[in-house]
Structures are given as C-alpha cells and as structure tokens.
Structure 1
Amino acid sequence: CVDDLIVYRLAEDEFLICLNASNAPKDIAWMRAHVGSHQVEVLDECAAWAQLALQGPLAEQILALVTSTPLAAIKRFGFVFGEVAGVAGCLISRTGYTGSPGFELYLPAASAEKVARALLAAGKPHGLVPAGLGARDSLRLEANYPLYGHEISERISPIQAGLGWTVKFAKPEFIGREALHRQAQGGPSSSVVLFSLDDRRIARQGAVVFSGETPVGEVLSGTQSPVLGKPIGTALVAAGHAASASLTVDIRGNRIPLRVSVEPFVK
C-alpha cells in the first residue's frame, strides 16, 4: 500500500484527496510520478485546508447547532458543501475513523480554530470534549480500522489486511492489480488479526507472536481498550495460524495468551 485515503469527487474532473498528513510528501510525489501522459495536475493544498472530526452518537445533533445544512440527507461516505459556524464553503462529510457516527469537516485552515471553538461551545452542554490521538487510536482499534504504517504499509497489502473489498478487480488495469490478484487467488502468506489479552500488560508494536515455540508473527498495534477494560491489538500472523487458539505474545519475556477475534470489538 502507498497509503490509506479517501477520495472525494468534487466534479467530473476534480477530486479532493484526504491522505495521512505524515505521508503527504510521499503520496503527492508518488501521484505526480505516475501522471504519465494523462492530462492531470496534482496540487498540494495541505497548507490551505484543515480537517476537524466531530465523532460520537450526538455528532449530528451538535453539528446541527452550528450549521443550517441538512445533515440527515448525507449518506455514509457522502458529502455536501455548506456553511459551518459562519464559515462558508466547508465540505461536510459523513465519515470518521472512530467506529462511531460522525462527520469530518474540511475547511480553510485559517478558519479551523474558529469552527473548532464554535463546536466545543455548542457541544459543551452535551458532553463534547477534545480528543487526542491516543483516544482516536483506542477507538479505531476497537472498531478494527487499519492505520497506515501498522496494519497496512508498503509490506502489508490490502488483501493481507482484510481490505479486499477496497480492491476492485473488475476495473480496468491499475497499478498492482496483477500482484494483488495472485495474492487474492492463492491466499496471502500472512494476514492481519485482531486480538485481546486477558492481562494488564499491553502488547506493543514489534512484539513477537508464537504458536507453541515457533515465532509466527508480530504485533502491529497495541493499546488499552476502555470499552473492554483490557489490552487489545492487531498482529500480522503467518498463514495457517490466524485462527489458532494457542497463540501467545512475548511481553518482556512473558508469554501471554492471545485471543483472536473475528469481529470488531465495537460496531
């Protein structure tokens, strides 16, 4: 994978791409390198735009307090343009990275603080508080959402990560199609699994996963789940071991039983 991103089609020949901020230079360079003879211009608008994510069961109710844009009509992964907290031209998208209902707002960077403060003020009576990356990471793991550099990367494909639904083999030729098709048909050599631990210790990225005395994988992400009250994480495990009931993970010299889950912990 080059990155995990969302593409918004603004017009017949215009797209807005939301990518991981840390990957922006790499992603933009990659796209420009693959333009070829196509009449395509790739513009770097990262400094001009900001994104605010309003997430949770009351997100729509709170957002409605600062916008007159009809929100109920926006479908999942759909978007509209509207005014938010007096700022015109905001892209309002029913998307998120938490496993909860919510919206992501794309707006001029110069107006981001104004809109953020308006949202916090409107949402304060409803319990709205700012959330950092630690909170986001526990939420996305509970929902089994991948993070680039962990569950997907230049060495972990969408097929391995359980994201085969994002790869459309019925489409015309695309970069990586042949390799991904071989992997989908023959089965990947390893796959990403979601797990929990009945222990207080957290399995961090890089911890070795064992089947008996044989190393069969490594932890990709690990954190404490506030919902479950115990550690959770993901691991890349060799084919044939992903469904094993005898997996353990080495945490500072201790082998802790690893419980694989085939379903997200939070839906």
Structure 2
Amino acid sequence: MPPESLAAAIARAGSPVELLRNAATPAHTFPITPEFTNWRSEQRAWARTCALLDQSHHMTDLFLEGPDAQRLLAGLAVNTFANFGVNRAKQFVAVNADGHLIGDAILFHLEDELYDLVGHPMVIDWVQFHLETGDHDARAERDDNSAVRSGPPRLYRYELQGPTAAAVIERATGAPLPATKFFHMAEFTIAGRPVRGLRHGMAGQPGFELFGPWADGDAVLSALLEAGKEHGLVRAGAKAYSTANLESGWVPAPLPAIFADDPHLAAYREWLPATAVGSLGGSVDATDIADHYLTPYDIGYDRTVRFDHDFVGRAALERIAGAPPRRKVTLVWNPDDVAAAIGSLFAKGPGAKHLELPKARYALHQQDKVLIGGGDGAEQVGVSLDCGYIANERAMVSLATVDVAHSRPGTEVVVLWGEEPNSAKPQVEEHRLWKIRATVAPAPYVQFARDQYRGK
C-alpha cells in the first residue's frame, strides 16, 4: 500500500496547521553518539582548539547528473550560477511562486555535469519533484539519511572546525594546507585515501568538511583522531552539534511554504508523502498556514538572492527586495527568566514548557512569538525560530526574525515560550505560556563568525 500523501493527510486533519501542530514528528535529531565527553566541553572545542563532527548520518544527498542538471537547479534557486564551476559549493535556497521559503541545502559541484545537493529533505524533495515531473535531460540518485536508509551511506562526512583545524589536517596529510577560498573545495590524501574538502565552518569557525566513499571513512577518521591528539581535537556528539548553528546564525528548518491553493503546489502535495513534513511548535498560534511562512530576507539570505536568471518566485522577491519588512537577529534570553522557567519544574504546576539543554527546540519548525510591551497591549513584532544554550558565551539564545523597526541591537523584547492550548505532539507536556525577556543582538552572535564567516 502506498504511503499517505500530504494532500490526503491535510484532508484528514482538516487544515495544514492542525496537521502540523499535532504531528508526532519530533524535532530533527542527529543519529550519532549524543556526547563523547560532555556537550559543554565539545562546544568549547570549536572555539578553543578543534572539534570533529560526524555529518555522515543525518543529511540527505541528492546526486544530480546530466546536461540539464544545472538548468533544473538554476530554475529553482534564488542563487546565481554565474562562475559556479567544479569544486565550488553554495547554499542553495528555493522559494515558491510567492517568494516564500521552501528550504535550503548545500549544493556541491563535483564534476562538469554532476552535483550533490545535501541537507534536510525539504528542498531536496522539491528539486526531485521538479525533475520527475518536468522536462530535463538529467537523472538523480537519492541517498536518504540514516534514520530511514537501509545500509550505510554512500559518503562519509567529517567536519573539522576550530582554531587548530588547519594544523590537524596538515598533520593528517603530511603536507601544507592548500590555499582554499571559502566554499571552494580542495583535494587531500589521508591514510592513503583521496579526500575532498569543502572550506566551510558550521559554527562560524575555521574548518573543512571532508568527504569521500563510505568504505574509506574508518581509515580517514582514525588518521584524523591520531593527528588531532597534539592539537586538542575533541569529538563532538549530537547534542553539541545541534547548537552549532546558533553561533553561525543559520536557521536550520524554516517551515516549507508548500500549502498554497494553486495547481502546482496541489500536485506537489499529492506527490509528497505525509511523512516528509515535520511538526510545528511554539506560541505562534495563527490558524492560517501562510502566517507561518518566511522569505529569504526574513532569515538573512539577502546577499544570496540574485536576479540575473529566471527562477520560481523571482517576481515576488523583486517586489520585496527594496524594503524587506523583517530582519534576522539573535535574541539573548534573560538569565533570570530562563532560570525561573527551569525552576518552575520544582513548584506547583503547571509550569513552563520544559527547556531542554543544550537545544530547546521541541518541534521541527519552532515558532514562538516575539513581543514588545506588556499585558494586553503587547504587540507581536517577530518570531523566535530556534533556541538553545551556547557554552562559549554562557548564554541562552534564539535565532529570530523581527520587524526592522525593532531589530537594533540592545532592543528589549519578550519571547513567549510554550503553547496555549497545548498541542497533541507527544513531546509536549502540560504547561503554561511563559514570558522570557530577551535583548536583540546581531546574527551571527559570535564576533568571529560575523567577521570571518558571514563576512566572506
């Protein structure tokens, strides 16, 4: 029996919001060891020495090959493809016809007509649908993540990041590190195996994402661990890894804008399995799913959008580009209010929604209200999208998008944490809404990431 389509699931639930708010799908998890030491020390490693993060298991790969592979990708991406040669990569961003986000992933240009799109399934499903239903001389091979795949992945991926990452690679390769521009690739030999490396950094620190055939993964990993002994290398587990985006300012899972009432998206919802969509959580309680959508400008992709080619959503983004209404920021949560929320576990309930550490996001698509003012006169001025604790800053923060008028660093706001009424998601216990004061700060929050990572 074929799986239930998203269209059928929406009809059963009554609306997209009802379906997503009560979905049993938890927040995205990384199917790797939670902690090798402890997540605080593992977070600190990428700021002080070097952290090794295993990316082999939690992402989906879509290998696209053929004469029309680039035409397919360019027609769906807000990105330019000018000068996008072999051994380069980019953050691929796709929107719907109204300019609202479908999702993003990392696109690797591996060979002349071969690309690898890597990331969460949202945008990968979108590209695969257009390949299967369009007219393109291209073919695809999909390698799902380890949560759903049978057998090992096609590739291993190891992220090395931190001040000593270059020294670890030089020790492992026995050669000087080649000069490699940001989001360009280099080739190495480690443990006698050819390795490709993307100049990258998930937490905004210096580093490379190393990858190659799965069969070589154990030998390469052993060589890296040996090389890292004299350079403070620390393996980082799933808990620490889940917070890296909070330092670099990347919003990991915006709600895909695939629910509009138009024939193209209706066909997509018939094609897409209901299991491909995640849960929606938080205090944003709009019943119209469109009120939960984001644009590239809301979450800091301004420089990614290029109008030098035709793509789905171009006209809509051209209308927004002149004066985007919201801006991505970091919200630094008030420590006393966070402590009070956690402390409510020890008082007569119901208390605050449980704040899991280090990552507090409990739905795949987290959306909490950001307010200005108090009492009945409070005004919503934004949405908090992803929250957690950064040991390197000793701070609880969230990535958010707020009205431009309230985006200046130092602005005082309130995050409304929790749900009312409580949804039927299994990870939601009885609780009440909790107001947590917060201060607007730049995104990325970490100065190094602003200067050396986003500044590239």
Same fold by TM-score greater than 0.5: yes
Q: In the alignment, is residue 192 of structure 1 matched against residue 328 of structure 2? A: yes
C-alpha offsets along residues 15-63 of structure 1, whole Å, 9 cap, x if unaligned? 233223x5486255235246x3332222225531121111111111101
C-alpha offsets along residues 182-216 of structure 1, whole Å, 9 cap, x if unaligned? 1212424x443211123151675433321112233
Change (3 A) 1:65 1:246: closer
C-alpha offsets along residues 131-190 of structure 1, whole Å, 9 cap, x if unaligned? 12332333321221231x14x743222111111111111x221122112111212424x4
Q: Could you tell me which runs of 5 or more consecutive residues in structure 1 were left unpaired when the two chains were aligned.
A: none
Who is 2:248 aligned against?
Answer: 143
The structure 1 residue matched to 2:436, chosen from 256, 259, 265, is: 256
Contact 2:104 2:123 in 1 (8 A): no
> Structure 1: which amino acid aligns with 2:303?
W
Q: Give me the TM-score of the superposition, normalised by structure 2.
A: 0.52
Shift of 1:222: 0.9
Who is 1:97 aligned against?
Answer: 202
> Structure 2: which amino acid aligns with 1:4?
D
Who is 1:176 aligned against?
Answer: 313
Who is 1:40 aligned against?
Answer: 138
RMSD over aligned CA atoms reads 2.6
Q: Could you tell me which runs of 5 or more consecutive residues in structure 2 were left unpaired when the two chains were aligned.
A: 1-100, 145-152, 258-292, 339-354, 418-431, 449-456
More helix by share: 2
Shift of 1:239: 5.2
Who is 2:399 aligned against?
Answer: 234
Contact 1:3 1:19 in 2 (8 A): no
The structure 1 residue matched to 2:191, chosen from 69, 72, 85, is: 85
Q: Distance in 2 between matches of 1:221 and 1:70?
A: 38
> Structure 2: which amino acid aligns with 1:86?
G
Change (3 A) 1:61 1:31: farther
Who is 1:29 aligned against?
Answer: 128
Change (3 A) 1:237 1:16: same
SS at match of 2:202: coil
Who is 2:371 aligned against?
Answer: 210
Change (3 A) 1:39 1:69: farther
Q: Distance in 2 between matches of 1:72 and 1:12?
A: 22
Shift of 1:263: 4.7
SS at match of 1:258: strand
Who is 2:118 aligned against?
Answer: 18
> Structure 2: which amino acid aligns with 1:247?
V
Change (3 A) 1:172 1:241: same
Q: Distance in 2 between matches of 1:8 and 1:184?
A: 27
Contact 1:31 1:42 in 2 (8 A): no
Contact 2:372 2:414 in 1 (8 A): yes
Q: Give me the TM-score of the superposition, normalised by structure 1.
A: 0.84
Identical residues among aligned pairs (%): 29
Contact 1:142 1:265 in 2 (8 A): yes
Who is 1:158 aligned against?
Answer: 296
SS at match of 2:385: strand
Change (3 A) 1:127 1:164: same
User: Matched residue pairs, number?
Assistant: 260
Q: Distance in 2 between matches of 1:137 and 1:233?
A: 13
Q: Distance in 2 between matches of 1:253 and 1:174?
A: 41
Bigger Rg, structure 1 or 2: 2
C-alpha offsets along residues 69-98 of structure 1, whole Å, 9 cap, x if unaligned? 65232221111233222222x211111211
Change (3 A) 1:2 1:106: farther
